[in-house]
Amino acid sequence: MQKTAIFPGSFDPFTVGHESIVRRALSIFDRIIVSVGYNSNKQGYFPLETRLEWISNVFKNEPGVEVTWFSGLTVDFCRKKDARFILRGLRTAADFEFERAIAQVNKAMDDSIESVFLLTRPEHTPVNSTIVRDIVRNGGDASKFVPPGVKLGEFKP
């Protein structure tokens, strides 16, 4: 049976840390659906369309990766996509506590879906989307924290 994982997140924007998790997980799953969670009450900094375009650039030569968005519960989206796995990355103990609660609640909602965690590479531990946004807002160069397909320099707020 094909193993499909949803990699849900805000990806505001997608970073080298996110990219590394997806590429490493390709040795575990046949198909990974990078899914930008959309919440109309919490628009985020980069528009949804921009985030999707950038992530699609990153994986344009990777047939095992799909890029899309969803709203609502991740477990409902997993069922819709016939995915039995939720992929997440862990950087720190704080990530673990946050992810533990979400994964246990997801498991309570749908026992057939497993959350799978990959530990970040040490060099990616300090990389996060909030810091990238702060650098961009203040006119700095955050390009080393994002994959080349994420064209921060072309973004006009």
- Cα dihedral 54, 48, 140, 21 in deg (nearest 10): -50
Question: In the bound complex, what is the minimum distance in angstroms from residue 41's beta carbon to ligand ADP?
Answer: 14
CB closer to ligand ADP out of 17 and 147 = 17
Catalytic residue check, 42: yes
Annotated catalytic residue within 27, 40, 42, 156: 42
Question: Can you tell me the distance from the alpha carbon of 23 to that of 64, in angstroms, rounded to the nearest whole number?
Answer: 10
Spatial strand order in the sheet of 65-70: 65-70, 31-37, 4-9, 85-90, 114-119
Question: In the bound complex, what is the minimum distance in angstroms from residue 130's beta carbon to ligand ADP?
Answer: 8
Annotated catalytic residue within 91, 107, 133, 151: 91
Catalytic residue check, 18: yes
Question: In the bound complex, what is the minimum distance in angstroms from residue 57's beta carbon to ligand ADP?
Answer: 17
Question: Can you tell me the distance from the alpha carbon of 104 to that of 101, in angstroms, rounded to the nearest whole number?
Answer: 5
| Residue of this chain nearest to ligand ADP (CB atom) | 17
Please give the residue ranges that form the binding site for ligand ADP (CB under 6 A): 9-11, 15, 17-18, 21, 88-89, 91, 95, 120, 124, 127-129
In the chain, helix, strand, coil percent, each to 5?
Answer: 40, 20, 40
Catalytic residues, by residue number, are 18, 42, 91, 129
